[in-house]
Structure 1
Amino acid sequence: MEFKSKLKGFMTVAAVILTAYGCSSSPGDEAGTATEAGDRTEAVRVLELGYSEIARSINYTANLRAFTEVHLAPAQPGRVDRIHVEAGDRIGRGQLLVEMDRTQLQQARLQLAGIEKDYRRMDTLRKVGSVTRQQYDQVKTQYEMAESNVAFLMENTTLTAPFDGRVSAKYFENGEMFSGAPNTPAGKAAIITLVHTSRLKVMINVSERYYRHISEGISVEITTDVWPGEVFMGTVKTVYPTIDPATRTFTVEMVVPNSDERLRPGMFARATMELEQIEAFVVPALAVLKLQGSNERFVFIEENGRARRVAVGLGERFDDMVEIISDELSEGDRLIFAGQARLVDGVAVEVQW
């Protein structure tokens, strides 16, 4: 009896709890909560969108390069007899830089001298008809090959500077063997490397959307961390004619005068190009909101007393102002720039001036 009495009491309490829960979760109450949220009004401030004229500029980072870089090496392996320069030396066009071992050249000259005698003798005999044309042609061919070999060895026994510049690297010492195997950071074989630094070049890969805006001769501003606050002017030299389908970029080559050689190849630099004057919407940066967990940016527009959310892209930034880009925005739209953090799409708003 005691157990039945306790069970009956438990069931009574459960019934009371279920009844209370059912009353508090009625459809009518849920509708009332939703209506209350939808009827709330947020106080906001707005500004009227209008076009501003801005300079479209693009900024890219790059490494400065020598205008010309040559990895100097003979056409065939051999012993390095003497190197006349060291890394960092200034050199002039035509200056003797490297001498290779002359043993092969001397042997080739002796061989040429012997063949030349045979050729002269054969030429005399041909004129009197004592040898056939075929015999004469064979000796003539041998003489021409020996002469070409001597010229080749002479050209590659001494290496001279092809331009005015500096020696940027030296890879061998006197007496060492040059094998012809790649030994430079560029993956090429060389005894020394020469650079022309009175002009430098900058190579950048630019987004394809700017292709029609960039042409040869456009001015470029170059800045570096080595010379903070200083701007070095350059120009666009070459716009490569193809787009890389993998990156959707094209290559632009720029030239920077460097007569005082304050800039050096390998320096980190920033290149800025002013492309054109355009009209754009420039608004306070605080008016632009970011969707949490993504890179999506958006703003709110006030229309007929309600907030409308509009996705935007970002363009140039000007201190506390930023360019916004969207096909959904028009001149004269009322942009909400205060109170927007509490808004959701479609909520009622009250404009305060």
Structure 2
Amino acid sequence: MNPRLSLLLSVLLLAGSPPLPAVAQDAGVLRYAPNAPQLAALHIEAVQLQPRPLSAPLNGRIAYDEDRTSRISAPVAGRVTRIAAKPGDRVRRGQPLLWMDSPDLGSAMADADRAAAELNQAQAAHRRAQMLYSGQVLARKDLELARTDLRKAEAEAQRARMRLRNLLPDGGSPHGESYPLRSPVSGIVTDRQVNPGMEIRPDLPNPLFVITDPTHVWAIVDLAEQDLAKVHVGQPAAISVDAYPGENFVGRISYVADVVDPGTRRVRARVELDNPDRRLKPDMFARITPLAGQGQLALLVPNGALVTEGRRVSVFVEVRPGELRKRPVRLGLQTRDFSVVESGLRPGERVVSSGALLLNADLQGG
């Protein structure tokens, strides 16, 4: 065959052949060309020191910050005539949430007016009795009776004023029987259980409105007894939710119950969290991980980075672009999603966090 033709056929055959596998020139080392397709399938990230976790993530939930939440019910019975707030609205302290027709309010106003009138009469009678007693016209027992009547009238007037003050805490003046239900706090309306025309009363099972400051939330966790020694008030904790995979929100444990729930055999704990972007929503499922105190750091790697062969655990470290070295590591705490590396890695080294098993197969076949 013509030598030139033979050379041309060889070039064409090589061009149409699949990419050559990685070459393991040294034990435990894989080298790829910069544009090798195997590299595109890998996820490589630098490992950094993070607060040391003290346990596997514990199941919990996001909850309202009850110190910044108000559940509002009507103090009187009546019928709703107008609603001024809906879920999502921002309201100010003292702002009307709804108006209602309330015979109870009219009754309370009438009681207050009647008590005030009776107090005026009792005061006048007491002054008259004092004058008559000073002129030795009235017996002392009659003066004492006038004083007793005055005290009764004062007590009844005080009771009526307090009743009206409870109905109108802002001191506003009602218009007839039209009663405004006002917000006692500033915040966001997160729930409303009332509609126009609805008959309401103070003993309804659910509040009419829930108003809260959503920039602060709690994470509630029920601790098993074996986890109780790992948490204490003031300790930091990391919270993760399914809505934001791979992201942790750090808070601080503010409460650990003093008793074990006899039904569940668990102890309730609470983590306080800042939530400035309002991404954490009450009743979200959450995973709470207690963290060690300040200065106690550790290297964490995702479990997808681990290659387990018997009792030996390794990771692939990027030595330089395209060159990956298999390195044994010693693990500490292992959870469902991540593991603590006690030795074998240094902060800042780049580790294959996804695709490590494929690399190991390449290495075994190389």
Interval of TM-score (by shorter of Structure 1 and Structure 2): 0.5 to 0.7
Aligned counterpart in structure 1 of residue 236 of structure 2, from 219, 230, 240: 219
Map of 2:334 onto structure 1: 316
Displacement after TM superposition at 1:238 (Å): 0.8
Map of 1:265 onto structure 2: 282
Map of 1:147 onto structure 2: 158
**How has the CA–CA distance of structure 1 residues 126 and 88 changed in structure 2, closer, same or farther, with 3 Å as cutoff?**
farther
Question: 5+ unaligned residues in a row in structure 2: which ranges?
Answer: 1-51, 169-179, 298-306, 313-331, 342-366
Map of 1:87 onto structure 2: 87
Map of 2:143 onto structure 1: 132
Aligned counterpart in structure 2 of residue 178 of structure 1, from 191, 196, 200: 200
1:249 aligns with 2:266: yes
Q: Which amino acid in the other structure matches residue 60 of structure 1? A: L
C-alpha distance in 1 between matches for 2:81 and 2:126: 39
**How has the CA–CA distance of structure 1 residues 72 and 58 changed in structure 2, closer, same or farther, with 3 Å as cutoff?**
same
Displacement after TM superposition at 1:84 (Å): 2.8
Q: Which amino acid in the other structure matches residue 161 of structure 2? A: V
C-alpha distance in 2 between matches for 1:164 and 1:204: 28
Identity %: 21
Aligned counterpart in structure 2 of residue 208 of structure 1, from 209, 225, 241: 225
**How has the CA–CA distance of structure 1 residues 135 and 127 changed in structure 2, closer, same or farther, with 3 Å as cutoff?**
closer
Aligned counterpart in structure 2 of residue 108 of structure 1, from 107, 111, 114: 111
Displacement after TM superposition at 1:241 (Å): 1.6
Displacement after TM superposition at 1:92 (Å): 2.3
C-alpha distance in 1 between matches for 2:337 and 2:71: 47
C-alpha distance in 2 between matches for 1:319 and 1:120: 78
C-alpha distance in 1 between matches for 2:339 and 2:239: 25
The DSSP-based 3-state class of the residue aligned with 2:260 is coil
Map of 1:72 onto structure 2: 72
The DSSP-based 3-state class of the residue aligned with 2:218 is strand
Q: Looking at secondary structure, tell me which structure has more strand per residue.
A: 1
Q: Which amino acid in the other structure matches residue 168 of structure 1? A: T
Map of 1:123 onto structure 2: 126
In the alignment of these two chains, the number of paired residues is: 237
Structure 2 length-normalised TM: 0.55
C-alpha distance in 1 between matches for 2:270 and 2:212: 17
C-alpha distance in 2 between matches for 1:192 and 1:320: 41
C-alpha distance in 2 between matches for 1:227 and 1:320: 16
**How has the CA–CA distance of structure 1 residues 140 and 263 changed in structure 2, closer, same or farther, with 3 Å as cutoff?**
same
C-alpha distance in 2 between matches for 1:195 and 1:322: 38
1:156 aligns with 2:154: no
* Structural mapping, 1:30-69, within 5 Å: 56-68=54-66, 69=69
C-alpha distance in 1 between matches for 2:221 and 2:292: 15
C-alpha distance in 1 between matches for 2:283 and 2:193: 19
1:195 aligns with 2:212: yes
Q: Is the 8 A contact 2:220 2:270 kept in 1?
A: yes
Q: Is the 8 A contact 2:112 2:164 kept in 1?
A: no
**How has the CA–CA distance of structure 1 residues 153 and 55 changed in structure 2, closer, same or farther, with 3 Å as cutoff?**
closer
C-alpha distance in 1 between matches for 2:263 and 2:197: 48
The DSSP-based 3-state class of the residue aligned with 1:120 is helix
Q: Is the 8 A contact 1:224 1:268 kept in 2?
A: yes
1:236 aligns with 2:234: no
Displacement after TM superposition at 1:245 (Å): 4.2
Question: 5+ unaligned residues in a row in structure 1: which ranges?
Answer: 1-53, 185-189, 289-313, 324-353
**Per-residue CA shift, 1:45-83, capped at 9, x if unaligned?**
xxxxxxxxx853231222211102332123343344544
Structure 1 length-normalised TM: 0.57
The farther-off stretch of 72-81 and 87-96 is 72-81
The DSSP-based 3-state class of the residue aligned with 1:62 is strand
Q: Is the 8 A contact 1:105 1:154 kept in 2?
A: no
**How has the CA–CA distance of structure 1 residues 78 and 150 changed in structure 2, closer, same or farther, with 3 Å as cutoff?**
farther
Q: Is the 8 A contact 1:98 1:159 kept in 2?
A: yes
**How has the CA–CA distance of structure 1 residues 134 and 227 changed in structure 2, closer, same or farther, with 3 Å as cutoff?**
same
**Per-residue CA shift, 1:237-263, capped at 9, x if unaligned?**
111122234433211100110122122
Q: Which amino acid in the other structure matches residue 93 of structure 2? A: R
Q: Is the 8 A contact 1:80 1:177 kept in 2?
A: yes
